[in-house]
Every structure is written in structure tokens, then in C-alpha cells.
A and B are shown apart, each in its own frame.
Chain A
Amino acid sequence: MRIDDETLMALADGELDRAEAARVSAAIADDPEAQSRLRRFTETRARLKALSAAASHPASADDPLIARIRAASVPAQALADAPVQATAPANRNRAPLAALAAALTVVVVGLGWWQMGGPASGLPEAEVAALDSLPSGQAVLLEDGRDLTMIASYRTAEGVFCREYETARDTALTVSVACRDGDRWQQQFASDLTTADGYVPASGDIAALDAWLADTGAGDPLTPEDEAAALAQ
């Protein structure tokens, strides 16, 4: 019986339970071919393990972090006595945002992002092409000189496939979300992230995006595999 690579790897990595490990070891005892395949897994692991023992870079940046962590450490009793505070959503932890979605939607309208309810023809062809095929994390140069970076793909709670991307020209940066509607793409919003001094806010400050994510119940970004499958549809 041929033992497959993944089983041999699991043996090398100590991922098999004792009975299974004994069974596989016995099965390959007289099988030099399987043993040599096993060796590729034990050997690669040993080489990487040796690397991990090598000195890491000196971490001078750790000292302020250690101070920061210690400052945040309070005995459990003091914590229990402290009043519960609602923290502002300073990052993209999405759970707290869900509760704030309604409020945020109102606020971000005030901040000047706009809803695009218009026809899909509003999207330039080059953007549509990128939406149809470009994997997240990759960038293309559009014909009009803008630089488009695909950021992430999502599925909304209703199962609609949506993609977040950025377009940049010089210091002007726009983050957009478009969702697939049949064979067309509908832009959900486009939010200009550029301010007068060229300051680009940290991602957690993209209120429009966070509100959209919370509103539509979009979960974490799709994995590359799931995204590829959705694009192939």
C-alpha cells in the first residue's frame, strides 16, 4: 500500500496520533521509496527549525512596547471594579462596529462620501476588467494613468460577491467597493481618502468602508482560494 505524501508529512510533524504513527511507521519499514519521501519532510523541518534558532534581529523597538503592555496590565480585581467603557472603534475590529453601523452611516455621509446608485456603466472598462480577474493584493496600471490595487474580496450576508480596491494617482487615493450583480459590477461607494496635506488615514479611519462592511454583514476577506473560485463563476 502506498502511503501518500501528506500522511508522511503528518508523521514527520508529529501530527498523527500514536496508533496511526505506529501503523504508518510499520507500513514504510521495508519501503525505501517511502522512507526517502519521509526524509524530505523531516529534513525540511529540521532545516527550518535550525533557522529559527538563529539570532533574530535586535529588537530595540521592544522596550517602549514592553512599557506599554505593563502599563495596560492591571490586577484582575482593579479591572472588575473599573467602570465598563465603550471604546471607540479605532481599528477594523468589526464586531463593535456592527452595533455602531447605523450611527456611522449618518456620520460618514456628513464626512463627504457618496453613494453611487447609478448604472454599472459608471465604471470604466479597465476597472471592470480588474474586478473580473485581478486577485487581491495585485496592482495594475490603468490606461488613464491611475494605479489600481485590488485589496480584498468579500461575501455579504446575502452572499453577494463584492470587491474592495483602491485607485491612486499621485497622492490622490480613492477606496471603492463594487459588488457583482449578474454579469455587471455595481459600485457601492467610492471614498476619497486624500486630505489637503496628503495625509492618508490608517485603514481603521475609513469610516465609509467600515460602515459598508458592518451594514452588509460582510465577514473577513475571502481567502485566495475562495476568491479565485468566485472569480471563476
Chain B
Amino acid sequence: MDPDFGEALIRLLPNLRRYALSLARRGDLADDLVQTTVERAIRAAASYDPSVRLEPWLFRITRNAFIDLTRRQRTEGVQVDVFDIPEALPDDSDRAIEARLMLRATQEAMKTLPPEQAEILHLICIEELSYAEAAEVLDIPKGTVMSRLSRARLALGERLGIK
């Protein structure tokens, strides 16, 4: 395997874990998913086309691994948050506290969305994939990405009181 590919993979580990957590919502499952993704990526490195971005290529592996994993793991475990938003500190400014509350509200709102809406929001607005890349990861047409994403955005906006 090409060392450049390896280093790029290492750089993206935090993104992979974040995406895995957004799918699995359990720390232990997310760790398994990241590990499976790394193993599969190493094995399939030769088939990676360097002219496309690595993120969607890896996310697709992670997502397929998740589909595989859900075959085995049906039990509900302790759910964890994707983002670890720190508690407010006593000397935080009002603005910092407000920003933190806003992050928390966003995270909570994401949890209340149907999984397919939360997933597409995560891929595009958090991992910053293009519509075409998200279509590739999710294996759906770009038109479906747009209609699903627009519904998801409006649903999120509604929950956050964005008019």
C-alpha cells in the first residue's frame, strides 16, 4: 500500500470515527466500524482512484460495514453523542455559554430526526461532501439527495426555531 494513502487514511480517522458514531450511536460499535473500514481500505487500496476524493470512498466502506454490522448487533447499548460538547465553565462569557447551548440544541435536534435525514445532513453539512459525493456514498441518485436533504434541512430548521 502506498504510504501517501496510509497517511491520508490516518488523517481521516477522526472523520471516520465521527461518521461511524453518527451511524452507530454507540462508542464500541463505532470503534468496530472504524477498524473494519481501515482493514477494508488497506485491502482495497489498489482499487482506489486517486482522482476522486478519499472521504466519500471511505465513507462508503464505513456505511457498508455498518449495514453488515447491523446484521449482528441488534441489542440496544448505551447511546453516545457524536460530539463531545464541553460543560460550561464558571468563567465563561455569556456568549460562550450561548454558543455551547446552541451546539447542544443542534445535536439534540439531529437525534430527533429520522436516521436517513440525520445521515444526509451529517455527510453534507458536517463532513462537507458534495451532493454528487453523498449520492455515491448512499447509493442513491443526486435528485434523491437533494429532495431528502432539503426535507431534512427544513425539519432541522423547524426544530431549531429557524424561520
Given A48-B106, A65-B35, A93-B71 contact (CB < 8 Å): no
Q: Give the A-binding residues of B (Cβ under 8 A).
A: 1-3, 5-7, 9-10, 13-14, 17-18, 21, 27, 31, 34-36, 38-40, 42-45, 64, 67-72, 74, 80, 82-86, 99, 102-103, 106-107, 110, 116, 121-122, 124-128, 130-131, 138-140, 144, 146-147, 149-150, 153-154, 156-157, 160, 162-163
A229 within 8 A of B: no
Instruction: Please report which residues of chain A, range 1-15, place their CB below 8 angstroms from some CB of chain B when the two chains form the complex.
Output: 5-6, 9-10, 13, 15
Selected A-B contacts with CB under 8 Å, 8 pairs: A6-B147, A9-B153, A49-B126, A54-B85, A57-B84, A69-B6, A75-B3, A203-B71
Assembled-state Cα–Cα distance A9/B107 (Å): 21
- Chain A contacts for B40, CB-based, 8 A: 91, 93
| Contact for A203 among B72, B74, B127, CB less than 8 A | B72
Q: Which residue of A lies closest to B47 (CB)?
A: A95
- Decide if B83 touches A55 in the complex (CB within 8 Å): yes
- Interface assignment of A233: CB less than 8 Å from any CB of chain B: no
> Which residues of B sit under 8 angstroms from A70, Cβ to Cβ?
6, 10
A57–B13 Cα gap in the complex (Å)?
12
Cross-interface CB contact of A51 among B7, B35, B68, B126, cutoff 8 Å: B126
Residues of A within 8 A of B130 (CB): 15
Contacts A9-B146, A65-B34 given; indicate if A73 touches B5 (C-beta within 8 A): yes
Contact A50 B103, beta carbon cutoff 8 Å:
yes
Given the contacts A40-B153, A48-B126, A73 and B14 also touching, CB distance less than 8 Å: no
Q: Inside 8 A of A10's CB, which chain B residues have their CB?
A: 131, 146
**Contacting residues, chain B, for A45 (C-beta < 8 A):** 125, 153
